[in-house]
Structure 1
Amino acid sequence: MGGLYNGRVFRSVSSSENGEVSAQTRFHYHQDDAVVWAEYSGGHILKGFLIATLQDDDCLEMRYQHINTGGALMTGRCRTVPERLPDGRLRLHETWEWTSGDRSTGVSTLEEVEKGA
């Protein structure tokens, strides 16, 4: 397994007010060819999973689901656009929509956590 996303860990650096991720949320990414998935938890999220397809432009089309600390099962869809930072880490620009709850939309930014941090 390899690829742009495999083995990287991300944290949220910003999110719309209606989002549930926070700086305490960690996303652990895996990749096998054009299939990308991650487990995530932390902050207001007890346990979450996402699955995505890698597009020709290295963007991700994904679906996600998690259980928050209030016990609610939340689901949504997201388009993620990667940006390579000067130090080689990735920043992910996400445009998302809840497919549960109020079905609102939002944007988030994730940044790769430095190794050992």
Structure 2
Amino acid sequence: MTHDAALAHDLDGLQFRMVSSTASRVDPEAPTRFAYRQDGALVWGSYLGDTVTQGRFVGELQRERLSISFAHALRTDGTVVRGEAISRVERRTDGLLYLVESFAVDGVDHESVCVQV
């Protein structure tokens, strides 16, 4: 990874699992899991699980703000969902990183939380 003073976190090689979402119920037995790669401010990766059969994202990390574009296929019928999201990267008292993501679905604002695994 290229180091930059504007980068407060290194997400390269980290994995996260979704713990909550206002957009849908999170299956605690098979939550969506995210795999992150990072080179400087550029962040990309993949995700699957729960309601998603396959997903990809790409974006930019500046300090504690992660802005991404994403696309994934729904398990129910294969419909492709595309969108954009902004996450706050937080290191909490348990020492783990959390991603608190804000996004909109059909004009309704939502929030999800993912934790480092």
Q: Distance in 2 between matches of 1:21 and 1:6?
A: 25
Higher mean Cα deviation, 31-40 or 78-87?
A: 78-87
Partners of 1:93 and 1:108 within 8 A in 2 = yes
Give the superposition deviation at 1:19: 4.0
Of 67, 82, 85 in structure 1, the residue corresponding to residue 92 of structure 2 is 85
Q: TM-score, normalised by structure 2?
A: 0.82
Where do 4+ consecutive residues of structure 1 move more than 6 Å?
A: none
Let me know the Cα RMSD of the aligned residues.
Answer: 1.8
CA contact (8 A) 1:15 1:22 kept: no
Cα deviation 1:51-93 (Å, max 9, x = unaligned): 11112x3311111110011210001111110111234310111
- Report sequence identity in percent: 33
Give the letter aligned to residue 112 of structure 1: Q
Residue 36 of structure 1: SS of its match in structure 2?
strand
Number of aligned residue pairs = 108
Unpaired runs of 5+ residues, structure 2, are 3-8
Gaps spanning 5+ residues in structure 1: where? none
- Using the size of structure 1 for normalisation, the TM-score is 0.82
Farther-moved stretch of structure 1 (18-27 vs 70-79): 18-27
